[in-house]
């Protein structure tokens, strides 16, 4: 389990003692001892449960009518109980907080991808198997002589040799951040070039997702923090089983269809304005835990204003754009061809077999197109049929014949999602070393949690890690 800092814990305890909460309880929910939590995603739900277990009164205000946030399992419109994920789809066996919570609710983690079957890489009209040593040269004919003959995964490792092992640490301090400044000074493609990679190698190593504006430090942290992992897993029955189990246990402490619009803190307590059934209401409490993505928080009124530094981080934090397509086919025909259903293409997109492990005659491909603004713009102008056709085209490029098997589908554009306005937090060069822990330090009675204020941005693990950190601040 990740170590939390003792000094943070002591600082939070001191603040609680200084300001005795004094707001009166009326017909408004909450009260002097209550901890208000905004958002019933994984961060809000687990923080609420942990706090309640220590005897604290909690109220979770959630804007949607269901819990789970960006953990969303899609069952409709698919046939025979087939399901896929609109958001979080896999975990690693190094995600200790996730495994802890799965264990607590008796939920099974099962393999994410088949042990057998080949993965395909596609670049335009050319495709190659990822386990073929000729793949690099086939996909990128301009690859330098000394870069040929490697599997794509080996080529990546070649450029990662000799980097500091502390890149995998979850307990980051200022000294460590200072030592990583060079990695944070450039984008991932720029860093690969600095390490000696040719343009063709950079294209090969970034196949499947656009990383042209992402800090090299962000990518290196993701790689190193997952290095000890032996397997990717998923929750049997759907990823939403975890937030559903949490929400069931919390019962009426989660209030749905309550869209928070503003927040206020005084010397004595906090209050939150929210819309419920067309009315504006106010909840009050001793402290406030905000788990909203910063894309949402940046448009909200907070009185008095947060520190200039925090406001700057909240308004500048970049979020990944991501479009997920779930495409049902009559059969998982790729398995008959010895394929795993996984592919990376220059669309750019990443594909996997979401039906793997499910008892169904149908196949379900998950196609994720990430990053590129031109794709987002094209997608936004299309009707649903055209959007699904775009997803099918991407699947067809990796699995020729897919379109003749395609039956129905679902799409989710996370940038347009009212409740997240983006997929997950990323970092542009300079931001990680400049911001450090400042993104999540509390401001008076206001605390912050969510994947974006953790060392695991983009992962459920980050949401759960941040919740535990916030709970320790609050106790
Ligand atoms: C496309 C995609 C792919 C991903 N893939 C993976 C993966 O494979 N593995 C993995 O581990 N993670 C993955 N993630 C990340 C993972 O889903 C998130 O890190 C995690 O679910 C975030 O939890 P959270 O509690 O921080 O935020 P959220 O889940 O966003 O929770 C915030 C909550 O606040 C609510 N809210 C928003 N506005 C308001 C308001 N005004 N008033 C009240 N409530 C409000 C929202 O409805 C939401 O329920 C993926 C995410 C996306 C989008």
Query: Are 355 and 393 members of one domain?
Result: yes
Whether 140 is in a domain gets the answer no
Query: Are 350 and 406 members of one domain?
Result: yes
| Domain endpoint, select from 375, 391, 416 | 416
pTM of structure: 0.93
Whether 434 is in a domain gets the answer yes
- Coil vs helix vs strand at 272: strand
Q: What is the pLDDT of residue 418?
A: 96
Query: Are 102 and 37 members of one domain?
Result: no
User: CA dist 282 to 181, 258, 270, 286, 289, Å?
Assistant: 44, 11, 10, 14, 16
Strand partners, 443: 446
User: CA dist 351 to 22, 324, 455, Å?
Assistant: 54, 10, 26
Cα–Cα distance measured from residue 270 to residue 261, given in angstroms and rounded to the nearest whole number: 14
pLDDT digits (tens, 9 = 90+) for 159-214: 999 999 999 999 999 999 999 999 999 999 999 999 999 999 999 999 999 999 99
Whether 143 is in a domain gets the answer no
Closest CA to 369 of 426, 326, 324: 324
Whether 277 is in a domain gets the answer yes
Decide: 287 and 388 in contact? Cβ < 8 Å: no
Cα of 129 vs centre of ligand 1, distance in Å, is 33
Q: What is the mean pLDDT of the chain?
A: 92
Domain that includes residue 170, residue range:
152-222
Q: What is the pLDDT of residue 29?
A: 66
Q: What is the pLDDT of residue 453?
A: 98
pLDDT band at 33 (very low <50, low <70, confident <90, very high): confident
Strand partners, 84: 74
Q: Give the contacts of 4 (CB within 8 A, at least 6 positions apart).
A: 468, 469, 472
Cα of 340 vs centre of ligand 1, distance in Å, is 28
Query: Are 326 and 412 members of one domain?
Result: yes
User: CA dist 292 to 93, 108, 359, 439, Å?
Assistant: 26, 28, 36, 13
Residue 26 has pLDDT above 50, yes or no: no
Whether 386 is in a domain gets the answer yes
pLDDT digits (tens, 9 = 90+) for 209-256: 999 999 999 999 999 999 999 999 999 999 999 999 999 999 999 999
Domain count, the chain: 3
The residue whose CA is least distant from atom 37 of ligand 1 is 419
pLDDT, average across residues 7-16:
30
Q: What is the CATH number of the domain that holds 79?
A: 3.90.660.10
Whether 349 is in a domain gets the answer yes
Whether 199 is in a domain gets the answer yes
Residue 335 has pLDDT above 60, yes or no: yes
The residue whose CA is least distant from atom 5 of ligand 1 is 88
Q: What is the pLDDT of residue 410?
A: 98
Query: Are 266 and 396 members of one domain?
Result: no
Q: What is the pLDDT of residue 1?
A: 33
Residue 22 has pLDDT above 50, yes or no: no
Whether 448 is in a domain gets the answer yes
Share above pLDDT 70 across residues of the chain, in percent, rounded to a whole number: 93
Query: Are 411 and 340 members of one domain?
Result: yes
Q: What is the pLDDT of residue 128?
A: 96
Which is the closest atom of ligand 1 to the Cα of 462? 19
Query: Are 178 and 307 members of one domain?
Result: no
What is the side-by-side order of every strand in the sheet holding 109-111?
91-92, 232-235, 109-111
| Domain endpoint, select from 163, 192, 222 | 222
The residue whose CA is least distant from atom 1 of ligand 1 is 87
Q: What is the CATH number of the domain that holds 294?
A: 3.50.50.60
Query: Are 308 and 433 members of one domain?
Result: yes
Query: Are 199 and 332 members of one domain?
Result: no
User: CA dist 473 to 16, 76, 225, 286, 310, Å?
Assistant: 9, 40, 24, 13, 18
Query: Are 408 and 329 members of one domain?
Result: yes
Ligand 1: lining residues by beta carbon, under 6 Å:
38-44, 61-64, 69-71, 87-91, 259-260, 291-293, 296, 322, 324, 414, 419-420, 423-424, 450-451, 458-463
First to last CA, the chain: 18
What's the burial of 176, exposed, middle or buried (CB within 10 Å: 0-12/13-18/19+)?
middle
Is the preceding omega at residue 21 within 30 degrees of 0, hence cis? no
Query: Are 339 and 264 members of one domain?
Result: no
Query: Are 272 and 333 members of one domain?
Result: no
């Amino acid at each position: 389990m990740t170590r939390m800092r003792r000094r943070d814990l002591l600082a939070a305890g001191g603040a609680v003692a200084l300001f005795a909460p004094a707001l009166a309880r009326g017909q408004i929910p909450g009260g002097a001892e209550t901890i208000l939590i905004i958002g019933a995603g994984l961060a809000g739900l687990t923080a609420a449960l942990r706090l309640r277990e220590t005897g604290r009164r909690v109220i979770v205000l959630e804007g949607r009518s269901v819990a789970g946030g960006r953990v969303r399992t899609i069952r409709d419109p698919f046939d025979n109980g087939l399901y896929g994920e609109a958001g979080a789809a896999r975990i690693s066996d190094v995600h200790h907080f996730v495994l802890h919570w799965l264990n607590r609710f008796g939920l099974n983690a099962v393999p994410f991808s088949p042990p057998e079957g080949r993965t395909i890489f596609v670049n335009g009209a050319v495709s190659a198997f990822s386990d073929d040593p000729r793949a690099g040269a086939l996909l990128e004919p301009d690859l330098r002589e000394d870069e040929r003959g490697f599997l794509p995964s080996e080529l990546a490792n070649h450029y990662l040799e000799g980097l500091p092992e502390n890149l995998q640490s979850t307990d980051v301090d200022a000294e460590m951040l200072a030592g990583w400044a060079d990695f944070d000074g450039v984008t991932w493609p720029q860093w690969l070039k600095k390490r000696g990679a040719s343009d063709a190698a950079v294209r090969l190593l970034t196949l499947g997702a656009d990383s042209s504006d992402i800090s090299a430090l962000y990518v290196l942290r993701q790689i190193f923090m997952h290095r000890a992992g032996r397997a990717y897993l998923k929750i049997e029955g759907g990823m939403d089983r975890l937030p559903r189990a949490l929400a069931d246990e919390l019962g009426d402490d989660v209030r749905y269809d309550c869209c928070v619009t503003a927040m206020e803190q005084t010397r004595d307590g906090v209050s939150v304005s929210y819309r419920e059934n067309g009315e504006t209401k106010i909840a009050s409490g001793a402290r406030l835990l905000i788990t909203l993505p910063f894309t949402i928080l940046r448009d909200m009124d907070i009185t008095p204003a947060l520190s200039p530094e925090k406001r700057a981080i909240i308004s500048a934090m970049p979020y990944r754009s991501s479009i997920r397509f779930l495409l049902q086919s009559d059969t998982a025909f790729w398995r008959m061809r010895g394929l795993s259903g996984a592919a990376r293409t220059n669309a750019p997109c990443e594909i996997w077999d979401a039906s793997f492990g499910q008892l169904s005659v149908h196949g379900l491909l998950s196609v994720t197109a990430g990053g590129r603004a031109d794709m987002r713009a094209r997608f936004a102008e299309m009707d649903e049929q055209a959007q699904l056709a775009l997803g099918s085209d991407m699947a067809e490029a990796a699995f020729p014949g897919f379109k003749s098997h395609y039956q129905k589908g679902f799409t989710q554009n996370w940038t347009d999602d009212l409740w997240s306005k983006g997929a997950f937090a990323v970092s542009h060069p300079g931001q990680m070393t400049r911001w450090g822990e400042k993104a999540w330090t509390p401001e008076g009675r206001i605390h912050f949690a969510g994947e974006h204020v953790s060392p695991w941005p983009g992962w459920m693990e980050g949401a759960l890690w941040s919740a535990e950190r916030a709970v320790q601040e609050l106790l």
